[in-house]
Structure 1
Amino acid sequence: MAAKKGQSGVAVLFQGVGFLFAALLVLHLLFLLTGFAGEGQLASSVAQAAEPLALFFPGLLTVDVPALQVLLDYGLAACFWVLLGGVLGRVFG
């Protein structure tokens, strides 16, 4: 991830951390949807990292379809981290 012209290293750091957090959440979401979540060390490590990053989003909106519930829970949290990283990157950039 290269810094744009005029963008400080702190801005790139904030954007990178936001992207990393969102990537962990999306990976956990994919593991849950594909049924890979119960198999092996990788899935459990990603789950341990993703659960605290989901913040208050799990259960914020409730739907009857389990797959859609997982998408809402972790998808909204991933969007939050990307937006927060972008906003902090703009503020400190």
Structure 2
Amino acid sequence: MAASKGRSGVAVLFQGVGFLFAALLVLHLLFILTGIASEGELAGSVAQAAEPLALFFPGLLSVDFPVLQVLLDYGLAACFWVLVGGLLGRVFG
């Protein structure tokens, strides 16, 4: 019988924070693409939280299509945070 490997609380914390950062970026991305970004306080709060989390990704790759540019800017940043959270979770797990 194989023993089940438990995850440490630190590993779960790193993975959770990485997922939360990525979720904020994806939510901001959706707000921009649907045009909700200029309306309401929720969209403003999400934008304010997402901008620093995007790090250096906005403008890293240039394309002529605005929708694709937004997808690349915030999509790559979201993938980065999921990857970093997963890697740190594995290291400390």
With the length of structure 1 as denominator, give the TM-score of the two structures: 0.95
Q: Where does structure 1 lack aligned partners over 5 or more consecutive residues?
A: none
Structure 2 equivalent of residue 71 of structure 1: 71
Task: Say if 2:41 is the partner of 1:41.
Answer: yes
RMSD, aligned CA:
1.0
Spell out the pairing of 1:1-93 with structure 2 (5 A cutoff).
5-93=5-93
Per-residue deviation, 1:6: 1.6
Structure 2 CA distance for aligned equivalents of residues 6 and 91 of structure 1: 14
Per-residue deviation, 1:62: 0.4
Per-residue deviation, 1:36: 0.3
- Which structure's CA Rg is the greater one? 2
Give a deviation string over 1:35-72, Cα, whole Å, max 9, x none: 00000100000000000000000000000000000000
- Percent of paired sites with the same residue: 87
Q: Where does structure 2 lack aligned partners over 5 or more consecutive residues?
A: none
